[in-house]
Structure 1
Amino acid sequence: MTQTEKLTWRTFVPEDFERAAVLLGRTWLSEFDGAAQRAASQIELAHYLSQTTWSLVAERAGEILGVVLLSERGQEVPEGAGWAELEVRLTRAAEKDDRLAEAVRVEMDGVREEAELEREYASEDPEGADATVKLLIVSPDAKGLGIGGRLFSAALDHLRETGARGYHLLTDDSCDFGFYEHKGLTQARRRRSRAYWPGVDPAADEFYVYVYEQRL
């Protein structure tokens, strides 16, 4: 039996939250120390889950190796209010510690900037506005297993089954958006970032956020 065959594929459940947040922090927030990474990753994940209508998790032996979250226009968000409340509670708790509050502000400033670009994109009602890939993340421990591709393909199969005209996602220069171009997505919007991104000096470097889209 191969490593891939040992994988379990299932819907995200609340009990996954802590482990998925750790994966997000390890992958995207390595510039932060342990406590700051934990606070910022939990708040960011709760934010995405508050908008999630469909999800898929790849798990092996109790370890989460990958997650994809979709937000579909006009669809019900299961437990969305609960995740939004958790985001507020976690943010208030982090604000009691200046160091944690700063880490959360830095991370969520980037999330908010991407959301602004997304609203600009969606205002013209393109086909890609029917759905958003809110999160696609794969553990560094799962390299070579094809988990990212399988998660992505499953999400697109779901969107086709529900009749979505297209979808989009937000990304930035810190990510390997070549993966999305390889999957057939095209760049629909680009904006030079005004936010501070860890490891990037906005006064000296050009750092962009993007909308990528694809018709179905």
Structure 2
Amino acid sequence: MTTGTCMNDPVTLRPLRRDDYPALAGMLRRMWYADPATSEACARRLATIDLHHCLSCSTIATVAECGGEVVGMILARVDADASFGRSTPLNRHVRRVMYEALPLPFSAEGRRGIRDALNMVAVDARLMRGLTGRYDAEIVLFLVDERQRGRGVGRALFDHVMRRFRAGGVRRYFLFTDTTCDVGFYDHRGLTRVREEATSHVDGTSDTYYLVEGEAQKRRTRLEDADGRRRRRSSGEYDHALGRRLPARTCDPYRREC
């Protein structure tokens, strides 16, 4: 499937493959683990853990290619499609996380990475408190190569997942994001920031974390509701909004000639 453009090349979406793992982990490392205090080897390990943790709880995994290069990915979970529900089985991604995490406790930078990851889990849990069961799906990870932003890659990936959500009967979905990401993208797409939490770091910087929700099913406009009512009225169908059966009519009352 081809949707959108990337400079002069089309953006092609396809299912994620195992041979994409190194490129995707590298993208994660450059964007979220490029800490000068962390060695490249440790940053690569942390990014690999992050990627496989997200894969372990996803039922949709799609990448964007442009000019033969992977330039973005989106991972999502539709709860109706997830046999594991809210818990995650010991699948190969979980085993990969465990394998990559083994050396981390034996170095200061590794322990710092573990601490940061646990802090993120705690923030997400606080943002989600009391909302269990509210959502049908989650966008687990949404990432576009920073060199390709503004070229339609993110839009193509997001639209693809919305189509998958609608096909799966998803009504309401959520995602976690923060001020290090392009939060404005979600505002532009009509999503709502439900909760937020500001967090300060030891280096004096701070970030704000958000729980954002959206509706996958298109909302009917007042005009569409009226149009549907006209169709039901012509056949004498039951109108659930009005709570009664509409009398059959031989013409459209909204047209001038009726």
- Shorter-chain TM-score bucket reads 0.7 to 0.9
The answer to whether the 8 A contact 1:36-1:99 is kept is no
- Write the letter of the residue equivalent to 1:151: L
Mapping of residues 71-150 of structure 1, within 5 Å? 71-76=77-82, 81-96=91-106, 98-117=107-126, 119-120=128-129, 122-123=131-132, 125-126=133-134, 129-150=135-156
The answer to whether the 8 A contact 2:71-2:144 is kept is yes
The 3-state SS of whatever aligns with 1:163 is coil
The answer to whether the 8 A contact 2:78-2:168 is kept is no
Q: Which residue of 1 aligns with 2:11?
A: 7
Number of residue equivalences: 206
The 3-state SS of whatever aligns with 1:213 is strand
The answer to whether the 8 A contact 1:52-1:77 is kept is no
Q: Which residue of 1 aligns with 2:236?
A: none
The 3-state SS of whatever aligns with 2:174 is strand
For residues 119-138 of structure 1, what are the alpha-carbon distances to aligned partners after superposition, in whole Å with 9 as ceiling and x for unaligned? 41532x32xx2111111111
For residues 9-63 of structure 1, what are the alpha-carbon distances to aligned partners after superposition, in whole Å with 9 as ceiling and x for unaligned? 1011222111101001111222244122201111111110100100210113442
Segments of 4+ moved more than 6 angstroms: 77-80
Q: Which residue of 2 aligns with 1:58?
A: 64
Q: Which residue of 2 aligns with 1:208?
A: 208
User: Higher relative CO (CA 8 A, sep ≥ 6), structure 1 or 2?
Assistant: 1
For residues 115-160 of structure 1, what are the alpha-carbon distances to aligned partners after superposition, in whole Å with 9 as ceiling and x for unaligned? 313541532x32xx21111111111221332101111111111101
Q: Which residue of 1 aligns with 2:45?
A: 39
Is 1:25 the counterpart of 2:29? The answer is: yes
Q: Which residue of 2 aligns with 1:154?
A: 160
Is 1:173 the counterpart of 2:183? The answer is: no
Question: Which runs of no fewer than 5 residues in structure 1 stay unpaired?
Answer: none
- Write the letter of the residue equivalent to 2:110: A
Query: CA–CA distance in 1 between the matches of 2:164 and 2:48?
Result: 26
Query: CA–CA distance in 2 between the matches of 1:57 and 1:80?
Result: 24
Change (3 A) 1:191 1:141: closer
Change (3 A) 1:21 1:213: same
Query: CA–CA distance in 2 between the matches of 1:143 and 1:119?
Result: 29
Q: Give TM-score scaled by structure 1 length.
A: 0.84
Q: Give TM-score scaled by structure 2 length.
A: 0.71
The 3-state SS of whatever aligns with 1:178 is helix
The answer to whether the 8 A contact 2:137-2:172 is kept is yes
Would you tell me which structure has more helix in proportion to its own residues?
1
The percentage of aligned residue pairs carrying the same residue is: 24
Question: Which runs of no fewer than 5 residues in structure 2 stay unpaired?
Answer: 217-258
For residues 190-209 of structure 1, what are the alpha-carbon distances to aligned partners after superposition, in whole Å with 9 as ceiling and x for unaligned? 22337x47xx53xxx65322
Query: CA–CA distance in 2 between the matches of 1:48 and 1:177?
Result: 20
Query: CA–CA distance in 1 between the matches of 2:8 and 2:112?
Result: 36
- Write the letter of the residue equivalent to 1:95: P
- Write the letter of the residue equivalent to 2:139: V
The 3-state SS of whatever aligns with 2:102 is helix
Q: Cα distance, 1:94 vs. partner? A: 2.9
Query: CA–CA distance in 2 between the matches of 1:37 and 1:170?
Result: 22
- Aligned-residue Cα RMSD (Å) equals 2.5
Q: Cα distance, 1:6 vs. partner? A: 3.8
